Amino acid sequence: MSIITSRENKWLKLFRAALRGSGPETGEPIGVEGPKLVEDALRSGLEVEALLVSESAERHAESILRAAGETDAGISRSRILRTTDKLFRSVSGTDAPQGVAALFQPRDWTLEDALRGAGEMREAAPLAVVLAEIQDPGNVGTILRSAEAFGATGVVSTRGAADPWSPKGLRASAGAALRLPVLRGMAIPVLLAQLRMARVKIYATSAASHADASDRGAFAAQADLREPAAIFIGNEGAGLSQEIIRAADAVISIPIRANVESLNAGVAASIVLYEAAKQRQSEVRVWTK
C-alpha cells in the first residue's frame, strides 16, 4: 500500500474533521483514535469505513485487522490507509498520538433502544440517563462510563449537550459511548412526552435543599430506582430547567456538607447510578410495556 504524503488528501481531510471536531453530524462517521478504542469499536459491531495507520504504529495493525476479521463486515483492503507520522499528527485530536485511527458508521439508535438496552441488558427494567444540556465532553464521557458500569440501559443527550460521540467524549467514556445505546440531540419536551407514554418515571437530580423542594412532595430523599426510570443530569452551571423539574415524578438530591455548593455533574451521576445498581441487585424486575 502506498503512503499518503499530501496534507490535502481527501481521506486525511475526513479524519481531521472527525478527530478534531465536536461530534459527527447526521450522515457523518464517528472518528475513533487509539488502538484500544478502535478495537473496542470493532468488537462492539460498528462498521468501519476506513482505518488510518502511521508508519511508526504499524505494529498495532495486526491485532486491529484480526479484530476486523472477526466481524461480519470486516474491512476492505482499499480502506486500510497508511501515512507519515507527521501527517498523522496533523489530523490527530490528542497531544500524544498513538498512530491509529478509524472512521465508523454510527448506529441509528432509538429511544426504545435506550430504554430496552443492548445485549444482556434487554430484559432489565429501563434505566436511562439523560444528559440535559451538559456542556463538558469530559463530564459526558464520565457519565457514560458510569452508566455502563452500573447497568444503565442507555443514554439520551438533549439539544445543546456536548456530543457523546465527540473525540473527547469517546475517550472519557473509555469506549462506553460505542457500546451503549446512545440517542443524541433530543428536544426536551418531546423526550418528556415519550417517557410518559412509555411509563418511565422521570427523576430530576438537583442541588436543592429540602426547603426548596416543591410542595407537592416531589423531593425524594430515598428514590425507588428499581422501576423503569430516567435520571436527568443537568447543566454544570444552571442545573436542570424548571420544565424538567415540574415534569419530574421526584427530585433526587445527594446529601452534601453545607459549605459545599454542588457536586461535579459526572460525580453526581455516578453516585445516583451506583444507588440504582445497589437497589436493583436485590430484586430483578423484567419490564413489559
pLDDT per residue as tens digits for the range 253-286:
887 777 777 788 999 999 999 999 999 986 545 4
Where are the chain's structural domains? 3-105, 111-281
| pLDDT of the residue at 207 | 61
CATH topology of domain 3-105: 60s Ribosomal Protein L30; Chain: A; (3.30.1330)
- Backbone φ and ψ of 152, nearest 5°: -65, 145
CATH topology of domain 111-281: Alpha/beta knot (3.40.1280)
- Identify the DSSP state of 24: P
Task: Compute CA distances 125 → 11, 86, 114, 199, 287, whole Å.
Answer: 43, 49, 11, 11, 5
Q: What is the dihedral of CA 106, 98, 82, 7, to 10 degrees?
A: 90
Listed range (156-170, 203-217, 238-252, 255-269) with the worst mean pLDDT? 203-217
| pLDDT of the residue at 213 | 44
Q: What is the pLDDT of residues 66-114, one digit of tens each?
A: 888 888 778 888 899 999 999 999 999 999 999 999 999 999 999 999 9
pTM exceeds 0.85 for this model = yes
What would the grid cell of residue 131 be?
444528559
